[in-house]
Amino acid sequence: MKKLLLIFILTGLINAGYAQAGRDTIKLADPTIFYENHVYYLYGTGNPDGFGVYTSDDMQHWKLHDKPALLKGSSYGRQGFWAPQVFKHHSSYYMAYTADEHIAIASSDSPLGPFVQHIHHPVSEPGKQIDPFIFRDTDGKFYLYHVRLGRGNRIYVARLKDDLSDIDSTTLTECIHAEQGWENTASSDWPVSEGPTVTKIGGLYYLFYSANDFRNIDYAVGYATATSPYGPWTKYTGNPILSRKNTGQNGSGHGDVFATANGAWYYVFHTHSSSSIVGKRKTAVVKLSISGKNPAVISVISGTFRYLETGP
C-alpha cells in the first residue's frame, strides 16, 4: 500500500513539474505549417477574431507569439476565421483563409504578419466557399483549390490571376466529391470532402483531402492523383491513408503536407479533443513515406504520430 502511495505521489510530482515547464498541447484545427530560413510557422483555426501564429526551430518546441498574424478589422471578415494557408511570392507573404464562409487573400512583409488587405474583399465568385489552398505550379501559375457548398462539400480548383487578386472564373473546375464508403460512413445526405492540399511529385499532382463531417469519429484523409492541376483525379485505392485506425484518435484530418529542413515529408492535422469530446481540437503531426513513382505511394509511417506542444 505504501509503495502504491509513493507511486501516486511521484506521478503527481512528475506531472506537476511537466505542467510547470509549460508543455501544453496546441489546440488548433485545420492547421498548416510554412517553413523558411530554419523556422517553422504554424497557423490554424482557433481564434474567433483572426489567426495566431506559433514558431519553432525544431518542430518540437513551439512558441505562441503575442501579436496575431491576422486580426479582424485588418482584412476581410467578421467571423468564422477558418483554415488559413501561408505562402511566399516574390518578397511578400500571403495568407489565404476563410471568413464569413468566403475566401480572402491578405498579404504581409513577414510570415508573422500582420496580414492585411488595403481593400477588404473576398474572392468574387458567388456562393459559400471555404478551405482555400493556393498551389504554385512549376511553370509559375497559381491555382486556388477550395471547397464549395452545394450538394455537399465539394472540392474545386480555379486559376488565380497573376496579381493574386482574384480567380479566373472561366477556369473553375470541380475536382472531387465524397462518393466512396469511407468518405461518408454516416450515409449523410450532405457528403463532405474538404481541406484540400496539393503538391507535385515528378509529373503528377497529388490532392490530399479529408472526408466525413469533422465531428464524425471517422473523419479521415485520402489522396488522389492527376496529370493536370484541373484533373481528372484518380483516388488512391488504399484510401484513407490517415484515420483513427492508425492515429488512435477520433476525428483525424484536415491538415497540410509540408517538408522539413532535411527534406522529410510530414502531414500536420487535427484530432478530436478526446474520445468523447470534439473540441477544442488538438494539433498533431505524422511523418509520411513516399515510395515508387508514376504514381508514388504515400503512407503514414507507423509510430510517428505525436501532438505539437508549446514550451521549452
pLDDT-derived band of residue 14, with 50, 70 and 90 as boundaries? Answer: very low
194 is catalytic: yes
pLDDT of residue 22: 62
Answer whether residue 268 shows pLDDT above 80: yes
What is the reported pTM?
Answer: 0.92
12 pLDDT more than 80 = no
Residue 86 contacts by C-beta under 8 Å, 6 or more apart in sequence?
Answer: 32, 34, 41, 43, 69, 93, 94, 95, 111
Q: Which is the catalytic residue, given 30, 183, 213, 256? A: 30
From the list 131, 183, 194, 256, the catalytic residue is 194
Check pLDDT > 60 for residue 17. no
Share of the chain above pLDDT 90, in %: 88
Place of cell 498541447: 25
pLDDT, mean of residues 119-130: 93
Per-residue pLDDT tens over the stretch 152-165:
999 999 999 999 98
Domains of the chain, each with CATH number or no CATH: 2-307 (2.115.10.20)
- Phi, psi at 13, each rounded to 5°: -65, -40
pLDDT value at 279 more than 50: yes
Would the pLDDT of 2 be above 50?
A: no
